[in-house]
Structure 1
Amino acid sequence: MNKIYNPEPSEWLEILKRPTKTVEDIEETVNQIFSEVIKNGDAAIEKYTELFDGFKPEETRVTAMETDDARNKLSQELKDAIFLAKTNIEKFHAAQKTEVVRLETTAGVECWQEKRPIQKVGLYIPGGTAPLFSTILMLAVPAALAGCKEVVLCTPPDTKGNVHPAILYTADLCGITRIHKVGGIQAIAGMTFGTETIPKVYKIFGPGNQFVTVAKQLATRHNVAIDMPAGPSELLVVADEAANAAFVASDLLSQAEHGADSQVILVSTSKDLINNVEKEVENQLKELPRKEIAGKAIENSKLIYVENKETALELINEYGPEHFIICTVNNDFYAENVQNAGSVFIGNYTPESAGDYASGTNHTLPTNGYAKQYSGVNLDSFMKSMTFQKISESGIKAIGPAIEVMADAEGLQAHKNAVSLRLKKLS
């Protein structure tokens, strides 16, 4: 890992740069695949599935028999763990439901806001180097609570055309019946434009690699919404002498093993802790099955020393981490003052992996600094707010003259007339 001591604020932008490609680097590839899917539908999907995944599907949709087989391939221990996680995620997201907001702003002028589910949503579930069946819980559970009418799930197959049984089992547990063995850019294209077999959706959710992230961003040009730009995983830990170096190292590695383009950062006011964490990372990395992947991510990662907590906080808010762990003498200082983070984990016994799986919070979070302006996925992500108003005769009399004056000042005579005609009728 790269050690950096007391960097100047002018250096932060370069130091905190993510090891990811830009939209421009990938845009040409995405647009080519998008164009072919628009033109050739399923044929284009099959072409790129064979090219990128090494499997040419005759049928991309998962059958009921495949789902039944998957159920029998999982241990009861794993099924119980998935059920526990699902229960906690349901509890936390159900608690996010809000009542109708209703108010009489002026006598006779009634306004209210209600939420409606997004009717058609698409879920992208990574399944390449790691089958992220936990992401299904994070997306399908709130989709069900919101009342989304149609849920489409796309996930890449292996070279034999199989989907990991844990993905199929979890999808079935969450009530998802339409699953397609399609990954990458072509999956985003299928859900964006629709094909003979893959339905077009209104909003696409789910993390992915850099290609999926850019494909989602470009999909927004085609009348499709996305949850957020959620690309390669990242973690920032702030820790000092109150932290356990082994714990901190394990958290850094837990994110580094996601992919070679992941990034992990430790910010600390303790040089001793930085040195101890570095040693722990080296030792723990040797024992990991995914050490080659994690090792490449560690090469892009940083150990940053700063002299005080105020500087640390400023640097953290500048970075805007997807995941933010706090293990310090004064945890409250960071928890109360952090402005930019996707999800926050407080204390030595709150590993980031708890949020990834079973604590109840959502692990689909903004990356690449987008935590400065985006929220992580929540119940409202699957809903839209609609406003209503109902105005009585007395109500239009009360606010009508103000509307006339404002419309006249903007030069919009038809707007004014829509009120004037009503007021004249009532006079």
Structure 2
Amino acid sequence: MSVSIRRLTTSDPEFQAKLDRLLVFDDSTDESVERAVAEIIADVRQRGDDAVLDCTRRFDQLAAASMPALELPKAELAQAFAALDAERRQALEIAAARIRSYHEHQKADSWEYQDAEGMRLGQKVTPLDRVGLYVPGGKASYPSSVLMNAIPAKVAGVGELIMVVPTPRGEKNQLVLAAAHLAGVDRVFTIGGAQAVAALAYGTETIPQVDKIVGPGNAYVACAKRRVFGVVGIDMVAGPSEVLVIADGTTNPDWVAMDLFAQAEHDEMAQSILLCPDADFIDRVVQSINRLLPAMSRRETIAVSLSSRGALIQVADLDEACAVANRIAPEHLELSVQEARQLVEKIRHAGAIFIGPHTSESIGDYCAGPDHVLPTSRSARFSSPLGVYDFQKRSSLIEVPAAAAAKLGPVASVLARGEGLTAHARAAELRYED
């Protein structure tokens, strides 16, 4: 089984145009999806629990007499964890401990200071009261996503974490439930789709309204998250997964090929790109791709992904590789070079940077510690990985004593009157005229 993966070179006068075409991803939602999601959200807002129950029967073939019947008791989560074999339990526990330890370093604290005018200024950091976590269900179940979304929320001090996970035809993923127990999820409802997003965003008779919704989902879930943004916060609307590997030609080509596979197996729209100054090494990677692909369980998906959106790009040198990487702004960036640390400072845009040839992106996905919820579709130019800061909000603190009001009040008055806002000006003036 061989793959036809495009070869590009930066010396080609048309390279930038070709790269731009390669990076294009149409994230517009099909009109039928938009229409269906709008109808579901409106129905949930109007009929609450009954609408969610109807959708769950229609889409998940799961009938329940009432919404409380779709809530899993905490004892069932604990039982799922207890029933794990020792190897899986240990893997979950190690991953959870590492994720928690890393995110503890992100926690922000409130602060204050007193300035020369005697004003006390500062920032009050407060965790969100309630967060909704969407977890895909059925065959596409990811316990790692539970840990990566729930643990930062808990470290931040979120008061209540409500997880929704569809269970088509009653099919429950025990590893997902075990991860929810380990991460400290407070409530779990076996619902999914746009109806679950709407229930979290607006609340129903059974499900309380949350402040923010996080977690991955299909096109209907992504569309629903976009529509409810503003009523609640959301983490991001993610596109297909991406990896960009910068190699200097010294890494085992099998390692590089497998790292390209690791992203390509997610989705036919996933993107795997290699940047390397060594044409002979690129040839060896191609040989590894064709030799290793037949053994992959998702080889058809990998083949489509690599042939439709993948690329092997020859660059002039590693400095140019970094410049191209910054233009691409990938979700995952692997620096598979001998002196990887020297390149880190040259990278400005990447969701996560994997430093050195032994640092596989897979370890980052599951157990290194940093969050695997990362910006895609070039949004690493302006956004960051999910973290504790996403579950905290900040309030400004301003305390003005009489002397400072007398000194700064005239400044506020002049600026307010300059904007034609008389009441603003008088509110400041009254405090130093008395």
TM-score by length of 1: 0.92
Question: Given the alignment of the two structures, is residue 11 of structure 1 paired with residue 23 of structure 2, yes or no?
Answer: no
User: What amino acid does structure 1 have at the position aligned with 2:347?
Assistant: V
After TM superposition, list the pairs within 5 Å mapping 1:69-148 onto structure 2: 69-148=79-158
Q: How far apart are the structure 1 equivalents of 2:168 and 2:366?
A: 23
Cα shift at 1:193: 1.9
Q: How far apart are the structure 1 equivalents of 2:138 and 2:253?
A: 31
SS at match of 1:267: strand
User: What amino acid does structure 1 have at the position aligned with 2:354?
Assistant: F
Match of 2:331 in 1: 322
Describe the shift of the 1:76–1:5 C-alpha distance in structure 2 as closer, same or farther (beyond 3 A): same
Match of 1:252 in 2: 260
Deviations 1:63-119 (A, max 9, x none): 345324423431111111111111111111111123333222332211011210011
Q: Say how many residue pairs are matched.
A: 422
SS at match of 1:266: strand
Question: Given the alignment of the two structures, is residue 382 of structure 1 paired with residue 388 of structure 2, yes or no?
Answer: no
After TM superposition, list the pairs within 5 Å mapping 1:143-182 onto structure 2: 143-159=153-169, 161-182=170-191
Q: How far apart are the structure 2 equivalents of 1:14 and 1:199?
A: 44
Q: Which among 390, 409, 412 is matched to residue 400 of structure 1?
A: 409
Answer yes or no: is the 8 Å Cα contact 1:208–1:232 preserved in 2: no
Deviations 1:275-320 (A, max 9, x none): 2222222333322223333333223322222223343223222222
Question: Given the alignment of the two structures, is residue 196 of structure 1 paired with residue 205 of structure 2, yes or no?
Answer: yes
Deviations 1:10-39 (A, max 9, x none): 332112123x54136542332222122223
SS at match of 1:213: helix
Answer yes or no: is the 8 Å Cα contact 1:213–1:231 preserved in 2: no
Match of 2:41 in 1: 34
Match of 2:28 in 1: 22
Cα shift at 1:324: 1.0
User: What amino acid does structure 2 have at the position aligned with 1:23?
Assistant: T
Q: How far apart are the structure 1 equivalents of 2:220 and 2:194?
A: 6
> Which stretch has the larger CA shift, 327-336 or 317-326?
327-336
> Which stretch has the larger CA shift, 40-49 or 78-87?
40-49
Q: Which among 61, 67, 71 is matched to residue 77 of structure 2?
A: 67
Q: How far apart are the structure 1 equivalents of 2:53 and 2:239?
A: 24
Describe the shift of the 1:246–1:217 C-alpha distance in structure 2 as closer, same or farther (beyond 3 A): same
Q: How far apart are the structure 2 equivalents of 1:346 and 1:263?
A: 20
Q: Which among 362, 379, 382 is matched to residue 353 of structure 1?
A: 362
Cα shift at 1:46: 3.3
Q: How far apart are the structure 1 equivalents of 2:240 and 2:56?
A: 21
TM-score by length of 2: 0.91
Q: How far apart are the structure 2 equivalents of 1:286 and 1:163?
A: 31
Which structure 2 residue ranges, 5 or more long, are not aligned? none
Q: How far apart are the structure 2 equivalents of 1:40 and 1:49?
A: 14
Cα shift at 1:237: 1.2
The RMSD of aligned alpha carbons is 2.1
Question: Given the alignment of the two structures, is residue 236 of structure 1 paired with residue 244 of structure 2, yes or no?
Answer: yes
Answer yes or no: is the 8 Å Cα contact 1:120–1:151 preserved in 2: yes
Match of 2:52 in 1: 45
Identity %: 33
Q: How far apart are the structure 1 equivalents of 2:343 and 2:95?
A: 28
Question: Given the alignment of the two structures, is residue 263 of structure 1 paired with residue 276 of structure 2, yes or no?
Answer: no
